[in-house]
Chains A and B, each alone.
Chain A
Amino acid sequence: MIDIPAYNKKMSILSVQNLRKKYGNSVAVEDISFSVRQGTCYGLLGPNGAGKTTTMEVVEDIIPATSGTILYKGRTRDIRFREEIGIQFQHTSLLNFLSVRETLHCYQKLFKHPEELDRLIARCNLDSILHKRNNQLSGGQQQRLMLALALVNKPELVFLDEPSTGLDPQSRRYLWEIVEDIKGNGKTIVMTTHSMEEAEFLCDTIAIVDQGCIIAEGSPAQLITTYCKTNTITLPLSVIENKLPALDIDFSLHGDSVAVRSRNVEETLRTLMAANIELKEMVVDSPDLEDVFLYLTGRKLRD
């Protein structure tokens, strides 16, 4: 008999090993392994068709894996898994003729230990739309309701599949606040997103997925320092144009400005100052997650 150690909070709440998912001859997920610590937010980033949603749905036990191991709290997923997770799908639908309150009430009854309705309503800001029917909700209102349904059972582990898609900036910021709040309460979040800003803001660890594999993993800062060390100094063309041939710098022209790429900003600035170049209108850009993403997945358009 295999001796499975009792789960403690230092262990990974979720562990995925060599996950593979095929549809006929088409491979959606090639080989994915990752683990998520309790109380953190883990993000899956990747271009369209990279296999993020398929990975999520296999891990959520919505679709079966072709092969691989998925452990929740150190054990294979059982009925307890369903009771303790919350899911916000990318595409889903609700019963049209039910109001928001009735929908929450209905889902509440499906779980053993549901969240108090009033608390859930307040948390997801649903007060003003409680009596609206599901088919009368705006995109943002629907997303808030979907998030409330994902939280209706006070889940230990929350899956969010592109939660802010189609939201206006205000709704997106509000959603982020809720996610931060969930994380603050010691819950774990696994999410997919296309928004680099969102991933950088919410995720403790990010996995960049491409063609069914994780090609890079780490905190946003780690990914940036590992894959994008180059800063960009932008100057007006007029202040540097005459001196460019004499300078030993890596640059490119963009209309009436010049972008100087530098791995050591201090040294480059010294070089520019030594050449008596006016730096008053200089702009220094640090690399961000989008640069990492494009560096790793390429700039070619995906379907």
Chain B
Amino acid sequence: MINLMQLQRILAMFNARNKEFFRDRAAFGWNFAFPFLIIVGFGIIFGGETLSTFKVGIFPQNGVSVIFSETTIPQHFKNNSAVSFVAISTLEEGLDKIHYHKIDLLIDGRSSENRYWVNDSSPKSYITEQMYKAALQPDDTVAVDRNIINGEQVRYIDWLFPGIMAMNMMFSALWGVGYVVVRYRKNGALKRLKATPLTAFEYLSAQMISRIFLLMFTFTIVWIGADLIFDLKIQGSMLLFFLTFFLGGLSLCSIGLFLAARGTSEEFTSGALNFISWPMMFLSEVWFSLEGAPVWVQNISWLFPLTHMLKAARKVMNEGAGFTHIQLECGLMILTTIIFLTLAAALFSWNE
């Protein structure tokens, strides 16, 4: 159990770190400006339109890519370069994806009646349907089984917002914790603290709590600002949305602390942080969906806490998911936090 003295020491370090953050005006300003500028920039450039190409889901498929020999998809449609195909295992999965505009058309690959589903709220779905029907030519009399799905389109800004916030959180957590701890170790500030009764656990806890407080503070301010400009649509609970970022922030901070547990070279730490953060940024669906990407890419993506944070956040924001739908992601983020924080505490060194 943590006693009062330990709490006092954690609080002292927490206050000191927060003061540092708020008084470093350049870093403080940039923490707000960076995500805000990206969100505004993308909002203006893409004006709420989705970036994805025409995606057609084919079911039932057991593999990662569509096996066309098992389908009745017309040759012309298969060869259409404007269309990409996504293998879907069940009808339910496919309906879910078309409902949320993750795909533009869903086709029952084994249906002799050319059964398909369109989302009538999506212009892209309509265009894809026309391309599909054209591919069934020359026989105009070919029977089709047209099914309609309703589902409000997710604006790109609503899809992008969690991504930008998560990316900013990742950089802020990794660099704001990892890099700073290494700098303190190198200039002797940690050694000065070691000469007190402060323990590694207390110091790391204070760093973690301080950073998560600052991350959530920044997140809230940028969220309010972006909402005022873009009228962000959060389909699910705001509290749950906040929770996903809180847990994601914890897991990213713990990785930052782990990477900084022993490092003494700012250059090396910088390289290590880049090595972690860049793949995470590109493979965690910050900018684009990995729907239809090779399975090994998706497997790598699954290893990153950023992926789970984003999946959970988008489920809540774009799909209105409740806690039961994101409990796996939440559990994985908590597990990541425990593992990396334990490793960081075990490996932590105060000195060069």
Residue A275 is within 8 A (CB to CB) of chain B in the complex: no
CB within 8 Å: A-B pair count: 69
Residue A2 is within 8 A (CB to CB) of chain B in the complex: no
Report the count of interface residues on B (CB-CB < 8 A): 27
Determine if A92 and B194 form an interchain contact, defined as CB atoms under 8 angstroms apart: no
The answer to whether A92 and B16 touch (CB under 8 A), given A83-B197, A109-B8, A110-B198, is no
Please report the C-alpha to C-alpha distance between residue A111 and residue B16 in the assembled complex, in whole angstroms: 16
Chain A residues packing against B (C-beta within 8 Å): 60, 62-63, 79, 82-83, 85-87, 89, 91-98, 102, 106-107, 109-112, 149, 153
The listed residue (A63, A82, A107) touching B351 by CB distance below 8 A is A63
The listed residue (B192, B194, B197) touching A111 by CB distance below 8 A is B197
Determine if B194 and A62 form an interchain contact, defined as CB atoms under 8 angstroms apart: yes
The answer to whether A95 and B20 touch (CB under 8 A), given A83-B197, A87-B195, is yes
Please report the C-alpha to C-alpha distance between residue A106 and residue B19 in the assembled complex, in whole angstroms: 11
The listed residue (A91, A97, A106, A110) touching B188 by CB distance below 8 A is A91
Chain A residue, CB-CB nearest to B21: A97
Please report the C-alpha to C-alpha distance between residue A85 and residue B194 in the assembled complex, in whole angstroms: 12
Please report the C-alpha to C-alpha distance between residue A89 and residue B193 in the assembled complex, in whole angstroms: 11
Determine if A109 and B11 form an interchain contact, defined as CB atoms under 8 angstroms apart: yes
Interface-centre pick from A87, A97, A102 (highest chain B CB count, 10 A): A97
Determine if A94 and B20 form an interchain contact, defined as CB atoms under 8 angstroms apart: no
18 interchain pairs (CB within 8 A)?
A60-B195, A62-B194, A82-B196, A82-B197, A89-B191, A89-B195, A91-B188, A93-B189, A95-B17, A96-B24, A98-B19, A102-B19, A106-B15, A109-B8, A109-B11, A111-B196, A112-B5, A149-B192
Q: 8 Å CB contacts to A: which residues of B5-63?
A: 5, 8-9, 11-13, 15-17, 19-20, 23-24
The answer to whether A110 and B196 touch (CB under 8 A), given A91-B188, A94-B189, is yes
Which secondary structure dominates chain A's binding surface? loop
Chain A residue, CB-CB nearest to B23: A97
CB-CB < 8 A to A92: which residues of B? 187-189, 191-192
Determine if A109 and B12 form an interchain contact, defined as CB atoms under 8 angstroms apart: yes
Determine if B189 and A79 form an interchain contact, defined as CB atoms under 8 angstroms apart: no
Determine if B351 and A62 form an interchain contact, defined as CB atoms under 8 angstroms apart: yes
Chain A residue, CB-CB nearest to B194: A62
Please report the C-alpha to C-alpha distance between residue A220 and residue B199 in the assembled complex, in whole angstroms: 39
Given contacts A79-B197, A97-B20, A110-B196, 17 further A-B contacts (CB under 8 A): A62-B195, A63-B351, A82-B195, A82-B196, A87-B195, A92-B187, A92-B188, A95-B19, A95-B189, A96-B24, A98-B20, A106-B15, A107-B196, A110-B9, A110-B197, A110-B198, A111-B197
